């Protein structure tokens, strides 16, 4: 009894604790004080655009799209809906159209409601302003990670913010801070890869790029970011989207929480919740994760948004609520501030009833609405509810394109280059083949002009595919194109068809080299689920058949996740991973193949060799146990195709003279690490200098190594630079068996490429 009372008291104080930290802005407080329950609950609702357009029903809009003003009034004036998201009919729109849509909604919100609160429009501007025709598209996050260039991540996000505001929209559902630790997961390419430090550093840069260094999002060139999908979304047991994850707290805190913690510290204004279950509990219903950890422990004072339909999912899919109304109660009491409903307004009716019945405290509603109104206020929406495209002359400009092109080049990762076969001479005759060779859709991936990327070809006609770019570079007469295998773009866009393998084989007779472009067609979320991580059988057959010709083969991979290539990799003289490089991927790949750009990208994940061995680089030592040679034939080693952090260049780099300023580090101290890197080849190039640490002995088994710092440098031939790093105790801390972050005394190695040095951490 006493225990229960204590717990309840503690929970109440905690609840107040989270709410009390939220900033009190007099303007917002004044509004809040005047609002009715109905008006407050309306602010917490978010609908998708199709609901308020003219069209058959809430999922289909007539084209050309137009708002149905009666429906706008119903949603925005009658219900007081606080937010609208998405495009209509899943299609990109012009800036002019966006301006019309957002203005018409704001006019109703401001002129036809009692308090004139503007609507907060949100969109998935994921790798550029996804749903605006003519916007600048960058590599998807996985490619951005491969560039290991934080400044470029920030710059691309700044440009995206600019072009999103040019589309009259002030809020993007980006960045993804989930960890890309399972290559089966269909959203791996939306992440910054498997390493916690890399994802944390780049996530912060992206947030700062969207929001500005000081997070002043009233600046009309900035947008509010939305870090997602909190927490533990990307590592489901089955590898499939929106399926359960089992993540012990030690692992949640060691590898999944840090990017969000850094995102909160970097001031992200909003966060979106993981659609799935962690340890049996839907995250949307988890008071512990949403309120105790995110709002109280991490001190998140911004707006917490559900993912698509996820309150209703608590009832219909996940069955933790016996009715839709109970689902609303669970989610709001757990800490949700805004519901991406997105098709009807039952949510509002239920929530009003729940408050009146005493099932949801008014203090919770006030806290949620305060967070929402604060966000609107900080975005300057009360002063400037709509930005105008004519104030954004740099939209789609050469200046922006250069950044996207450079980013695509910097992302490309050279994984194999036997006997220096690359770069090829521009006098070479080449066969270009494979289902990804002539596809803007595949270069961009999902979230490109449409959700699944299926409308890319309609909007991206002016850009060059890989085959276009190769023809442009070396002349049409030197290039033969036979696709060999193609995707069924209309129906099962996953499925490819071997329609002309023999044609490709015949065409190879007249060329010096074969450039074979393989991978995946575009996809996003659930439709990208996989039963088998191997590259498709048809593509493997194409590679096999072409190998028989004896012509040297260059494999270009264009894919969102590392599909298994073990069977065909030995046929390849060179392997280039282009990931999902965006609209400038064609020229970037062609620049690398023909030596106009010296590649410097590094893998942001471990490229697996076998579908059953999906182990990340930061594994425990027991993943690689010694084999008893000749006694048993174990398959127990850490066998990977290519390691995390790996990537070749057309030049060579020599590392030497690793030195530490001291052999001992303590809690308040700093360790300075220096290493010399020299370009020993004949071409200028980029190198990503990576610093790892490895603990000798700790109370929980240490990972074999962990990335702690990196620095991307450019060296001319013969040039040598000294690269300096600083580490503190925090950098070698870890989560112990009591789920606490600690430092433990003992020896630690610093590892930079093949050099290492040891220091002691002392308490
Ligand atoms: C995705 C989110 C996205 C949202 C809005 C959901 O299906 O999981 O990442 O932001 O849709 O489009």
pLDDT in tens, 144-164: 999 999 999 999 999 999 999
Do 256 and 218 have their domain in common? yes
- Tell me the two tokens of residue 429: 């005759």
- 27 occurs within a structural domain: no
Mean pLDDT of the chain: 96
178 lines ligand 1 (CB under 6 A): no
Tell me: do 355 and 438 sit in the same domain.
Answer: no
HSE (side-chain half, CA atoms, 13 Å) at 390: 0
Q: 663-695: per-residue pLDDT in tens?
A: 999 999 999 999 999 999 999 999 999 999 999
Same domain, 584 and 721: no
Q: How confident is the model at residue 17 (pLDDT cuts 50, 70, 90)?
A: confident
Same domain, 557 and 669: no
- Name the band, by pLDDT with cuts 50, 70 and 90, for residue 5: very low
Atom of ligand 1 nearest to the CA of 229: 9
Flag whether 644 is in a domain. Answer: no
CATH number at residue 367: 3.20.20.300
pLDDT band, residue 633 (cuts 50/70/90): low
Residue 4 pLDDT more than 70? no
Query: Do residues 252 and 366 share a domain?
Result: yes
pLDDT-based confidence at 635, cuts 50/70/90? Answer: confident
Which tokens hold the place of 301? Answer: 């004072």
Q: Is the CB of 228 under 6 A from ligand 1?
A: yes
The CB density around residue 626, as the number of other CB atoms within 10 Å, is: 8
Ligand 1 atom at minimal distance to the Cα of residue 176: 9
Same domain, 416 and 385: no
Closest C-alpha residue for ligand 1 atom 8: 307
Give the distance (Å) from ligand 1 centre to CA of residue 348. 21
Is residue 307 within 6 Å of ligand 1 at its C-beta?
Answer: yes
129: phi then psi, degrees, rounded to nearest 5 = -85, 85
Say whether 307 is catalytic. Answer: yes
If you compute the radius of gyration of the chain from its CA atoms, what whole number of angstroms results? 27
CATH code assigned at 578? 3.40.50.1700
At 630 the pLDDT is: 64
> Could you tell me if 318 and 422 lie in one domain?
no
Q: Is the pLDDT of residue 634 over 90?
A: no
Ligand 1 contact via 666 beta carbon (within 6 Å) = no
- Tell me the pLDDT tens digit for each residue of 296-322: 999 999 999 999 999 999 999 999 999
Confidence of residue 528 (pLDDT cuts 50, 70, 90): very high
Give 740: exposed, middle or buried? Use CB within 10 Å, 0-12, 13-18, 19+.
exposed
- The whole-number average pLDDT for the span 714-730 is 98
| Domain shared by 89 and 131, yes or no | yes
Which of 361, 391, 421 finishes a domain?
391
Top mutation candidate among 243, 307, 339 for ligand 1, by most atoms within 8 Å of CB:
307
Instruction: Give CA angle at 442 (436, 448), nearest 5°.
Output: 165
- Kindly state whether residues 475 and 381 are assigned to the same domain: no
Task: Find the farthest-apart pair of alpha carbons in the chain and give their distance in angstroms, rounded.
Answer: 86
Protein residue with least CA distance to atom 10, ligand 1: 173
Ligand 1 atom with the smallest distance to the CA of 190 is 9
Tokens 């005759």 correspond to what residue? 429
Write down the catalytic residue from 50, 124, 241, 307. Answer: 307
87 vs 495 pLDDT, higher one:
87
Task: State pTM to two decimals.
Answer: 0.97
Find the 545 Cα to ligand 1 centroid distance in Å.
41
Band (pLDDT 50/70/90 cuts) for residue 3 is: very low
Q: What is the pLDDT of residues 260-277, one digit of tens each?
A: 999 999 999 999 999 999
Cα–ligand 1 centroid distance for 94 (angstroms): 21
Cα–Cα distance for residue pair 203/218, rounded to 1 Å: 21
Give me the pLDDT at residue 13, please.
Answer: 45
By residue range, what is the domain housing residue 212?
3-19+37-391
Q: Give the CATH number of the domain where residue 745 resides.
A: 2.60.40.10
Omega cis (within 30) before 423: yes
Q: Angle at Cα 506 formed by Cα 415 and Cα 556, nearest 5°?
A: 15
Residue bearing tokens 């203005």: 103
Q: What is the pLDDT of residue 84?
A: 99
Q: Is the pLDDT of residue 513 over 60?
A: yes
Does any domain span residue 604? no
Query: What spacing in Å lies between the alpha carbon of 278 and ligand 1's midpoint?
Result: 18
Ligand 1 pocket member 191 (CB < 6 A): no
Ligand 1 touching residue 131 (CB < 6 A): no
Is any ligand 1 atom within 6 A of the Cβ of residue 310?
no
pLDDT at 204 over 90: yes
Ligand 1 centroid vs 129 CA: distance in angstroms?
15
Give me the number of domains the chain comprises.
Answer: 3
Residue 239, in any domain of the structure: yes
Together in a domain, 242 and 377: yes
Residue of 88, 171, 272 to mutate, ligand 1, most atoms within 8 A of C-beta: 272
> Are 204 and 284 in the same domain?
yes
Does the Cβ of 286 fall within 6 Å of ligand 1?
Answer: no
For ligand 1, say whether the CB of 86 is within 6 Å of any of its atoms: yes
CB-CB contact of 738 with 725 (8 Å): no
CA of 10 from ligand 1 middle (Å) equals 35
Q: Is the pLDDT of residue 626 over 90?
A: no
Q: Whose CA is nearest to atom 7 of ligand 1?
A: 308
Percentage of the chain lying above the pLDDT 90 cut: 94
Rounded distance from Cα 307 to ligand 1 centre (Å):
6
- pLDDT confidence of residue 489: 83
Alpha carbons 364 and 367: distance in angstroms, whole number: 5
Quote the CA–CA distance of 170 and 341 in Å, as a whole number: 20
Residue with token string 């001291």: 662
Question: Does the C-beta of 241 come closer than 6 Å to ligand 1?
Answer: no
**Residue range 268-287: average pLDDT?**
98
Residue 245 within any structural domain of the chain = yes
Phi and psi (nearest 5°) for 400?
-75, -40
Mean pLDDT calculated for residue range 452-457: 96
- Give a yes or no: residue 24 inside a domain: no
List, as one string, the DSSP characters of 296-342: IIS---SEEE--TTHHHHHHHTS-SSSSHHHHHHHHHHHT--BEE--
Given this model, what pLDDT does residue 14 score?
46
User: Where is the domain boundary, 550, 576, 596?
Assistant: 596
* Best mutation site among 86, 187, 243, 308 for ligand 1 pocket (most ligand atoms within 8 Å of CB): 308
| Residue 399 counted as domain residue | no
Q: Is residue 332 part of a domain?
A: yes
**Residue with CA closest to ligand 1 atom 6:** 308
List, for residues 360-415, the tens digit of each pLDDT value: 999 999 999 999 999 999 999 999 999 999 999 999 999 999 999 999 999 999 99
Q: Based on the fold, state whether residues 313 and 355 are members of the same structural domain.
A: yes
State the distance from the centre of ligand 1 to the C-alpha of 308, rounded, in angstroms. Answer: 6
CA of residue 483 to ligand 1 center, whole Å: 33
């Amino acid at each position: 009894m006493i225990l229960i009372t204590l717990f309840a008291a503690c929970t109440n104080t905690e609840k107040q604790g989270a709410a009390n930290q939220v900033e009190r802005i007099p303007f917002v407080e004044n509004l809040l004080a005047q609002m009715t329950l109905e008006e407050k609950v309306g602010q917490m609702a978010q609908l998708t655009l199709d609901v308020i357009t003219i069209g058959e029903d809430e999922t289909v809009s007539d084209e050309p799209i137009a708002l149905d003003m009666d429906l706008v009034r119903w949603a925005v004036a009658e219900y007081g809906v606080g937010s609208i998201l998405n495009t209509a009919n899943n299609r990109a729109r012009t800036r002019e159209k966006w301006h019309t849509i957002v203005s018409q909604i704001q006019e109703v919100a401001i002129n036809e409601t009692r308090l004139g609160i503007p609507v907060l429009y949100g969109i998935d501007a994921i790798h550029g302003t996804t749903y605006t025709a003519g916007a600048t598209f960058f590599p998807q996050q996985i490619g951005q990670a491969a560039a290991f260039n934080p400044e470029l991540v920030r710059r691309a996000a700044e440009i995206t913010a600019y072009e999103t505001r040019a589309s009259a929209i002030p809020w993007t559902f980006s960045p993804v801070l989930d960890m890309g630790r399972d290559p089966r997961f269909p959203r791996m390419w939306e992440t910054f890869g498997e390493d916690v430090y890399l994802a944390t550093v780049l996530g912060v840069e992206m947030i700062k790029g969207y929001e500005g260094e000081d997070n002043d999002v009233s600046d009309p060139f900035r947008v509010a970011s939305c870090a997602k999908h909190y927490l533990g979304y990307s590592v489901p047991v089955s590898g499939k989207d929106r399926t359960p994850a089992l993540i012990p707290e030690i692992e949640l805190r060691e590898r999944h929480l840090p990017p969000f913690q850094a995102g909160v510290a970097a001031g992200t204004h909003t966060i979106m919740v993981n659609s799935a279950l962690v340890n049996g509990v839907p995250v949307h219903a988890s008071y512990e994760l949403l309120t105790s950890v995110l709002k109280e422990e991490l001190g998140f004072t911004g707006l917490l948004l559900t993912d698509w339909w996820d309150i209703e999912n608590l009832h219909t899919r996940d069955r933790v609520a016996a009715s839709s109304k109970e689902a609303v109660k669970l989610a709001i009491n757990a800490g949700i501030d805004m519901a991406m409903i997105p098709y009807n307004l039952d949510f509002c009716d239920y929530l009003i009833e729940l408050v009146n019945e005493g099932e949801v405290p008014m203090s919770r509603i006030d806290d949620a609405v305060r967070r929402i109104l604060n966000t609107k206020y900080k975005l300057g929406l009360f002063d400037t509810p709509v930005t105008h495209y004519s104030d954004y002359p740099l939209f789609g400009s050469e200046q922006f394109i250069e950044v996207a092109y450079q980013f695509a080049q910097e992302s490309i990762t050279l994984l194999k280059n036997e006997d220096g076969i690359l770069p090829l001479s521009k006098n070479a005759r080449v066969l270009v083949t494979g289902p990804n060779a002539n596809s803007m859709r595949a270069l961009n991936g999902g979230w490109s002009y449409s959700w699944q990327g299926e409308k890319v070809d309609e909007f991206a006609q002016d850009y060059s595919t890989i085959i276009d770019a190769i023809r442009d570079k070396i002349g049409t007469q030197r290039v033969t194109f036979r696709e060999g295998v193609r995707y069924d773009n209309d129906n099962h866009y996953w499925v490819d068809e071997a329609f002309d393998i023999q044609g490709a084989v015949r065409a190879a007779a007249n060329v010096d080299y074969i450039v074979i472009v393989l991978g995946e067609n575009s996809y996003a979320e659930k439709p990208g689920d996989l039963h088998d991580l191997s590259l498709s059988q048809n593509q493997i057959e194409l590679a096999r058949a072409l190998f028989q010709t004896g012509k040297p083969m260059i494999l270009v991979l264009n894919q969102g996740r590392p599909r298994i290539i073990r069977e065909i990799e030995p046929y390849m003289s060179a392997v280039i991973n282009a990931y999902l490089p965006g609209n400038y991927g064609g020229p970037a790949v062609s620049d690398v193949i023909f030596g106009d750009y010296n590649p410097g990208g590094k893998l942001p994940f471990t490229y697996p060799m076998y579908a059953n061995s999906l182990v990340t680089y930061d594994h425990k030592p027991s993943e690689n146990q010694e084999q008893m040679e000749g006694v048993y034939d174990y398959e127990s080693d850490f066998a990977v195709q290519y390691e995390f952090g790996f990537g070749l260049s057309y030049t060579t780099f020599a590392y030497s003279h690793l030195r530490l300023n001291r052999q001992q580090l303590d809690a308040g101290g700093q360790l300075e690490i220096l290493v010399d890197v020299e370009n020993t080849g004949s071409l200028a190039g980029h190198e990503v200098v990576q610093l790892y640490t490895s603990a000798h002995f700790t109370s929980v088994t240490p990972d074999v190594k962990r990335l702690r710092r990196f620095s991307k440098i450019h060296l001319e031939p013969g040039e040598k630079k000294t690269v300096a790093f600083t580490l503190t105790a925090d950098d070698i801390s870890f989560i112990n068996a009591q789920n606490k972050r600690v430092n433990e005394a003992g020896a630690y190695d610093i590892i930079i490429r093949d050099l290492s040095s040891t220091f002691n951490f002392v308490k």
